[in-house]
């Protein structure tokens, strides 16, 4: 079952409440992080820019009512008081409002539109965030986490007390729990008299506050109706958190807490959902108000263990500035995506470890994490969870970063109690500085679990020291306003300002300097150093961010710079501090790469685009939300990997607008079809089915099947993208059980690119008013073969932009007097060609020094010339093609030399002769032969040389149907078991011709390894076929039931098409390698059979194949009874009776060999004219072999001969022949025995023949 169903169940359960009136009808948020969150319909939070006054009396109010139907406006922080005008300037919460709009409104769209207004600081939905516990009812010894963090030793030094208050911003607290009641915070300034006695804006808030109001879906018996002064928990999450941080300790009952009796302030901002799959929710606007309440009412620590957003940051930042330590959970996403509060300087973010300090299996991680703490993890091999209090006076084990966070909050309370004069920053620094580094236990997450697992004893015993800075590069901006055309795009010839924004979230940084390092010949650094000076840290958040706008780094782009992605380094130095950051930006980008996934899949795209010379901008969808500027790019590549939602409403709207404007989109990702089209899909449910309309109307694809049975796709013949390509798919980074290649069909004018073996499509393309390429089989990165991935990306980009570019690169030349003419054909069917330019130089460095606009001579042909150059010059050039939409075709840099040719032709591709079961042929070979120089290959010199059994011959090869292709066809009269060695040679047309010789290849007569298909066999199409992988040798073997089990009532044969001619043989042996699983009891048998009457009658040879052989084994069958016949048919037949089980794999066969054997030591032909005219040692047969192999050799004169076998170290292991023999042909057999009589081991051996004046060696392989 798919893990995505967890998401599905949450939404399905919530949607069931459509049957009754609901205040909260949730929709899934578009931001995928370790915290799951949902959007509250009908509510929007906005923060206005100063100096906006009362919103209700402003002109903006009329716009909100008329345009969005705003029904109610509320100040979110109505009782805010400020100590000074400076404080108000920093924390002006009076500008934050909660707007009520009709529940049917598209809240995300409203926020997106409001965020474009100049008077709006931000607008966001009101979120429901899931809490972070993972309930588990497996019980272990309780409170392992306390000795793990050395709490017992710490309590010998310091203990907390109720003067230190830890706010629990959660689902409430069971404040009368016997193990919590004594530590529950009491508001001594408030009286239970129905009034706001302490004038803090809350009536009768004697022990905290409950903001939950109007929630009609809480669990039975839970308070969800009215905001009140009773923060009682019902879910148990908040109570569990409170017990970890501040349970009554040393009271002889229950559990102990890290803080040893610090007070806990219950602040209820969430409730328990009736769905156990969902757990509990907290609401973002209430959480923000709770942070302010905690700060205004004396809390020194606040713990928050759920997702967060911009409005929560407002409340948390306010609390931190007042002096509160803000502790938050990192998340349970098992990824590196942090929530805003975790990423904020003042958020003490906590990852979870198990009880042996290994990262918990669920915990989010990243370089932004502050520390780690025990969070429980039964899932990592039966480890313990965290034991603590829960609702209704009970106790339970939970796990999650929600449990790790209050462990740290409790330690913060303990440290604050020991040092009441310390600031909140001091407390944070002390906890971080005294944690135990656990990178050695988590090498995969080194540097991503904070400074380590917290150590309470060290925190209360080690002296305080000011921490080093920790500076984060938050953004880089390329400004072309002054030295360029101010279009925001980096273009050749522009002078640019590089502005870097930095944030320091630890100790102060002094004497900060920024240095720019670039190794790009297209860019000159005019000013590579910026002086920043001081960047304050956590103690002064108003000044811990800065940039170098007043002293920017300055770059000059060369006027002849080609479009490409620039890679460099920003080096940061300060007193006792050094850091480097990667820098990337694009020159003349025409492609936008949108990363809409959580893993590291972007590297598959970036590496290929860089290799293709494509200049592109990169957009991280998880950090920046939906991109809005797609129209600035000719092509958009958008990849989703395996993320839900695949494309939310905002994404689809932006893509639709882009395509409606004639855009070009390449979209890929696993399960997009399921997510957008299936009735159980995450996005289908959230969109009410509109996502399926987008899928069919814009991608022009019909979703058929969620999980294909196939992992192989084949390109459609003649398709501009798929033709000639085949590949396997596997979504990287995902387990085998999480592979879901969709099957789809093209509709409404689209075409299939790649098909599964069953004929259904895995990828489609559409070319109409816009162009799309959609991969449904998974992400582009799921293509297993790297060379195919590279080819596919280039073809996709060319097709999307309607470009076909053809150019024959210039070769080396001896011409040093005349110009070098260059021609290119450019066919563009989508956009007109804007320009075709030739760049060239002779200095071997980029950028190119010369640029020529090529002339259009008609029919898409462009021409240009490079002036003549002296001998010894290397000339490099490239052709830049740009369409009217701004797309630059992939760049290829070519080079040629002006020099005398001394390089022979090369044999780029030799299509070897397939091993054959035919003794006479015809045998065919083709080769691609090229020369480096412009004079080319001498077509009359291309020769095929071959030899067998000491007989040599040659044939001239002829030109094939394409340039540089040569072919030869020949026949022969060979014996089964003969080997034919061959090679090719060719000369060029140089003044002094150069001769090239290919490698030597081998053809074996009477051998079938199934590497070239089943062309020599008649195979029952319903049964026998090829299987790939786990073969005896090579990549393929044959099976009676490929990919499945054989069926009852099977009677199917694999028959050799051409009959065997063994008329001249004295004896004949057949050998083959096999493995099988056949049902015992005569219900599944394999037979080897021959026929001498053209298939009318068949006779079994050898033993029946029965039972099970899981490993490959060799079987030898004698055909000597049929020697002398010239028409012998051979077949392999599987038979099963009608009652056979269908649970058996059947019969697999590989490496079939037929050998005509001559009696050992006796010349094959005694006639005088048959005496060999040379010495020769044939390749042994079979090879590899087990249990024995035939060794054939020939002598042209009488004399001593030695046939010996040596191991890979050169040591002789066997003397097969050592005697004087007359001239003739001989065959001997070696069974793998050494001279000592022991069997040799599996491996490579060398067969050596030595006679006076002649030595020859062959390699052979013995398999046990």
CA atoms of 73 and 71, how far apart (whole Å): 7
Strand 325-329 to 301-304 pairing: parallel
Of the candidates 307, 315, 304, the one whose C-alpha atom is nearest the C-alpha of residue 406 is 304
Q: Which helix (H) or strand (E) holds 302?
A: strand 301-304
CA distances from 1135 to 917, 963, 1052, 1053, 1115 (A): 25, 50, 7, 9, 19
Of the candidates 1089, 1107, 1109, 1087, the one whose C-alpha atom is nearest the C-alpha of residue 1098 is 1089
Contact by Cβ (8 Å): 1140, 1079: yes
CA atoms of 866 and 855, how far apart (whole Å): 13
Whether 349 is catalytic is: no
Whether 129 is catalytic is: no
Contact by Cβ (8 Å): 654, 683: no
Contact by Cβ (8 Å): 107, 39: yes
What are the structure tokens assigned to 117, written together? 């207004």
Of the candidates 314, 321, 290, 318, the one whose C-alpha atom is nearest the C-alpha of residue 304 is 290
Catalytic residue among 29, 92, 170, 649, which? Answer: 170
CA atoms of 840 and 836, how far apart (whole Å): 13
Give, to the nearest 10 degrees, the angle between helix 237-246 and helix 401-418.
30
The alpha-carbon radius of gyration of the chain (Å, integer) is: 39
Residue identified by tokens 């060239």 is 840
Hey, how many other C-beta atoms are within 10 angstroms of the C-beta on 688?
9
Burial of 1166 (0-12, 13-18, 19+ CB in 10 A): exposed
CA atoms of 346 and 332, how far apart (whole Å): 21
Catalytic residue among 35, 129, 237, 564, which? Answer: 237
| Max CA separation in the chain (angstroms) | 131
Helix, strand, coil percentages for the chain (3-state, nearest 5): 15, 35, 45
Of the candidates 933, 929, 934, 930, the one whose C-alpha atom is nearest the C-alpha of residue 944 is 929
CA atoms of 396 and 378, how far apart (whole Å): 14
**How many whole angstroms from its chain centre is CA 302?**
38
Q: Is 59 left (phi over 0), alpha (psi -120 to 50) or beta?
A: alpha
CA atoms of 423 and 413, how far apart (whole Å): 12
Contact by Cβ (8 Å): 1129, 1090: yes
Look at the alpha carbons of 336, 337, 342, 344 in this order and tell me if their dihedral is positive or negative: positive
Q: Which residues contact 1093 (CB under 8 A, 6 or more apart)?
A: none
CA atoms of 20 and 1227, how far apart (whole Å): 91
Strand 1084-1091 to 1199-1206 pairing: unpaired
Of the candidates 218, 198, 162, the one whose C-alpha atom is nearest the C-alpha of residue 23 is 218
Q: Which helix (H) or strand (E) holds 796?
A: helix 786-800
Query: What three-state secondary structure class fits 7?
Result: helix
Q: Which residues contact 624 (CB under 8 A, 6 or more apart)?
A: none
Q: Is 25 left (phi over 0), alpha (psi -120 to 50) or beta?
A: beta
Whether 35 is catalytic is: no
Catalytic residue among 402, 522, 691, 941, which? Answer: 402
Q: Which residues are catalytic?
A: 170, 237, 402
């Amino acid at each position: 079952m798919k893990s995505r169903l967890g998401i599905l169940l949450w939404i399905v359960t919530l949607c069931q409440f459509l049957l009754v009136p609901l205040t909260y009808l949730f929709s899934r948020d578009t931001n995928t992080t370790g915290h799951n969150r949902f959007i509250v319909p009908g509510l929007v939070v906005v923060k206005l820019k100063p100096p906006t006054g009362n919103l209700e009396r402003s002109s903006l109010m009329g716009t909100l009512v008329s345009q969005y139907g705003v029904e109610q406006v509320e100040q979110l922080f109505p009782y805010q008081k400020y100590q000074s005008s400076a404080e108000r300037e920093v924390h002006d919460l009076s500008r934050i409002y909660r707007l009520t709009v009709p529940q049917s409104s598209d809240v995300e769209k409203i926020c997106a539109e409001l965020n474009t207004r100049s008077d709006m600081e931000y607008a966001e939905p009101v979120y429901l965030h899931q809490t972070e516990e993972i309930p588990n009812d497996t019980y272990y010894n309780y409170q392992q986490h306390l000795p793990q963090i050395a709490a017992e030793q710490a309590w010998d030094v310091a203990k907390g007390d109720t003067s230190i208050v830890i706010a629990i911003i959660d689902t409430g607290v069971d404040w009368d729990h016997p193990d919590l009641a004594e530590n529950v915070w009491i508001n001594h300034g408030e009286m239970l008299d129905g009034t706001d006695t302490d004038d803090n804006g809350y009536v009768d808030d004697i022990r905290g506050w409950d903001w939950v109001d109007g929630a009609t879906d809480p669990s039975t018996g839970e308070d969800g109706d009215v905001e009140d002064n009773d923060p009682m928990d019902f879910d148990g999450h908040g109570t569990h958190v409170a017990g970890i941080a501040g349970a009554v300790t040393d009271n002889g009952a229950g559990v102990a807490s890290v803080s040893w009796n610090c007070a806990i302030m219950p602040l209820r901002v969430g409730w328990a959902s009736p769905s156990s799959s969902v757990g509990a929710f907290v609401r973002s606007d209430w959480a923000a108000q709770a942070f302010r309440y905690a700060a205004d009412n004396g809390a020194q620590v606040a713990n928050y263990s759920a997702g967060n957003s911009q409005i929560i940051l407002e409340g948390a930042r306010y609390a931190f500035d007042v002096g509160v330590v803000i502790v938050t959970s990192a998340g349970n996403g098992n990824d590196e995506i942090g929530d805003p509060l975790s990423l904020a300087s003042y958020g003490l973010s906590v990852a979870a470890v198990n009880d042996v300090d290994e990262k918990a299996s669920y915990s989010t991680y990243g370089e932004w994490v502050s520390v780690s703490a025990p969070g429980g993890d039964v899932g990592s091999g039966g480890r313990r969870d965290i034991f603590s209090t829960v609702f209704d006076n009970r106790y339970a084990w939970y796990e999650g970063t929600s449990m790790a966070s209050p462990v740290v909050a409790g330690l913060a309370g303990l440290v604050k109690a020991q040092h009441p004069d310390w600031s909140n920053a001091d407390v944070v620094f002390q906890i971080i500085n005294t944690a135990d580094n656990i990178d050695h236990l988590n090498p995969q997450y080194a540097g991503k679990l904070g400074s380590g697992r917290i150590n309470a004893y060290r925190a209360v015993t080690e002296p305080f020291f000011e921490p080093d800075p920790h500076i984060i590069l938050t953004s880089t901006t390329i400004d072309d306003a002054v030295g360029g055309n101010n279009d925001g795009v980096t273009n050749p010839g522009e002078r640019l300002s590089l502005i870097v924004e930095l944030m320091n979230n630890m100790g102060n940084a002094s004497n900060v300097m920024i240095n720019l390092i670039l190794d790009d010949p297209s860019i000159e650094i005019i000013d590579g150093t910026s002086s920043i000076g001081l960047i304050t840290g956590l103690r002064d958040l108003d000044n811990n961010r800065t940039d170098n706008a007043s002293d920017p780094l300055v770059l000059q782009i060369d006027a002849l710079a080609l479009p490409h992605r620039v890679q460099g380094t920003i080096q940061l130095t300060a007193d006792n501090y050094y850091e480097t950051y990667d820098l990337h930006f694009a020159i003349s980008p025409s492609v936008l790469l949108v990363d809409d996934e959580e893993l590291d899949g972007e590297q598959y795209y970036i590496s290929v685009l860089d290799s293709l010379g494509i200049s592109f901008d990169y957009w991280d969808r998880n950090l920046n939300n939906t991109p809005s500027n797609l129209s600035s790019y000719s092509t958009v590549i958008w990849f989703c990997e395996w993320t839900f939602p695949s494309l939310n409403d905002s994404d689809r709207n932006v893509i639709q607008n882009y395509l409606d404007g004639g855009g070009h989109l390449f979209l890929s990702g696993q399960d997009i079809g399921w997510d957008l089209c299936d009735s159980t899909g995450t996005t289908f449910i959230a969109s009410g089915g509109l996502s399926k309309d987008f899928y069919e109307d814009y991608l022009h694809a019909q979703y058929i099947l969620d999980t294909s049975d196939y992992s192989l796709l084949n390109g459609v013949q003649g398709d501009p993208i798929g033709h000639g390509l085949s590949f396997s798919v596997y979504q990287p980074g995902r387990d085998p059980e999480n592979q879901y290649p969709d099957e789809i069909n093209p509709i409404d004018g689209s075409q299939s690119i790649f098909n599964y073996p069953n004929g259904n499509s895995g990828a489609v393309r559409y070319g109409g008013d816009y162009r799309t390429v959609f991969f449904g089989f998974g992400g582009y990165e799921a293509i297993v073969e790297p060379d195919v991935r590279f080819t596919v990306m280039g073809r996709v980009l060319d097709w999307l932009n309607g470009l076909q570019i053809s150019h024959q690169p210039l070769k080396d030349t001896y011409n040093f007097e005349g110009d070098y003419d260059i021609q290119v054909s450019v066919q563009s069917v989508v956009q007109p060609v804007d320009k075709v330019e030739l760049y060239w130089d002779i200095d071997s460095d980029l950028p190119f020094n010369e640029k020529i606009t090529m002339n259009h001579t008609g029919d898409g042909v462009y021409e240009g010339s490079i002036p003549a150059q002296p001998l010894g010059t290397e000339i490099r050039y490239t052709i830049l093609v740009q369409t009217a939409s701004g797309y630059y075709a992939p760049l290829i840099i070519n080079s040629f030399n002006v020099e005398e040719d001394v390089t022979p032709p090369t044999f780029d591709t030799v299509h070897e002769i397939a091993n054959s079961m035919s003794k006479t042929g015809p045998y065919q070979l083709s080769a691609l032969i090229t020369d480096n120089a412009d004079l080319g290959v001498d077509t009359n010199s291309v020769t095929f040389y071959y030899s067998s059994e000491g007989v040599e011959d040659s044939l001239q090869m002829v030109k094939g149907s394409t340039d540089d292709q040569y072919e030869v066809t020949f026949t022969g009269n060979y014996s089964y078991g003969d080997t034919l060695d061959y090679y090719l040679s060719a000369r060029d047309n140089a003044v002094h011709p150069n001769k090239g010789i290919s490698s030597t290849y081998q053809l074996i007569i009477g051998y079938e390894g199934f590497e070239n298909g089943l062309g020599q066999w008649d195979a029952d199409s319903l049964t026998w076929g090829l299987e790939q992988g786990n073969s005896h040798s090579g990549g393929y073997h044959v099976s009676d039931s490929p990919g499945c089990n054989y069926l009852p009532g099977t009677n199917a044969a694999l028959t050799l098409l051409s009959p065997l001619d063994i008329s001249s043989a004295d004896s004949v042996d057949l050998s083959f390698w096999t493995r099988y699983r056949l049902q015992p009891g005569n219900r599944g048998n394999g037979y080897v059979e021959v026929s001498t009457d053209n298939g009318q009658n068949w006779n079994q040879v050898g033993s029946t194949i029965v039972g099970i052989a899981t490993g490959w084994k060799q079987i030898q069958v004698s055909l000597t009874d049929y020697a002398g016949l010239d028409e012998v048919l051979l077949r392999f037949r599987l038979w099963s009776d009608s009652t056979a089980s269908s649970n058996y794999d059947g019969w697999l066969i590989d490496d079939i060999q037929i050998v005509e054997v001559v009696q050992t030591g006796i010349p094959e032909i005694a006639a005088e004219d048959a005496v060999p005219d040379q010495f020769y040692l044939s390749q042994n047969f079979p090879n590899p072999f087990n249990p024995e192999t035939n060794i054939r050799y020939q002598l042209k004169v009488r004399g001593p001969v030695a046939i010996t076998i040596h191991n890979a170290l050169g040591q002789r292991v066997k003397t097969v022949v050592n005697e004087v023999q007359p001239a003739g042909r001989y065959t001997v057999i070696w069974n793998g025995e050494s001279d000592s009589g022991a069997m040799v081991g599996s491996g490579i051996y060398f067969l050596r023949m030595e006679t006076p004046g002649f030595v020859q060696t062959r390699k052979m392989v013995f398999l046990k």
